[in-house]
Amino acid sequence: MSVRTGLRATVDITVTEDDTAVALGSGDVAVLATPRLLAVMEAATVEAVRGALDASRTTVGTRVQVEHLQATAVGRTVAVTAELTSVDGRLMRFAVVAQDHETRRLVATGEITRVAVDRRRFLARL
């Protein structure tokens, strides 16, 4: 498999107390925290290209643009889908969408940019 537009993956999260704004310190209400949602969005981008890269390569996030549109209560499940929409050399752009699994209400949308790197060289520079 090779990296190409159209690759996609969906990652689900069922919101627990540990995923809330209260638990993560990003707010004072017990709803899905934006930082946790963003982590799941990034996980979906990683999953979308899993198997498409040589084992010596990985991707790292470089840019995130997200609109968190709808609060999600503890116990609800959110489906996060990432689709690779653009490949320019090592640069990859993903459209990300989060929807309530049951109601299909839009929870968030955005774009995440990742860059393909050689895993060993990347870590050696740290």
**Known active-site residue 59:** no
Write down the pLDDT at residue 23. 98
Beta carbons within 10 angstroms of residue 126's beta carbon? 4
* CB-neighbour burial class of residue 59 (10 A; exposed 0-12, middle 13-18, buried 19+): buried
Mean pLDDT of 72-99: 98
User: Which pTM does this prediction carry?
Assistant: 0.95
**Known active-site residue 20:** no
**Known active-site residue 113:** no
Of 107, 117, 122, 112, residue with least CA distance to 83: 112
121 appears as a binding residue in the annotation: no
75 appears as a binding residue in the annotation: no
Write down the pLDDT at residue 1. 66
Inside any domain, residue 2:
no
Inside any domain, residue 39:
yes
Inside any domain, residue 100:
yes
CATH number for the domain spanning 36: value is: 3.10.129.10
- What's the rounded Cα separation, in Å, for the pair 68 and 27? 14
Q: Which domain range does residue 60 map to?
A: 8-124
Inside any domain, residue 115:
yes
10, 47, 68, 85: the active-site residue: 68
pLDDT in tens, 1-51: 689 999 999 999 999 999 999 999 999 999 999 999 999 999 999 999 999
Domain count for the chain, please give it.
Answer: 1
Residue 75 has pLDDT above 90, yes or no: yes
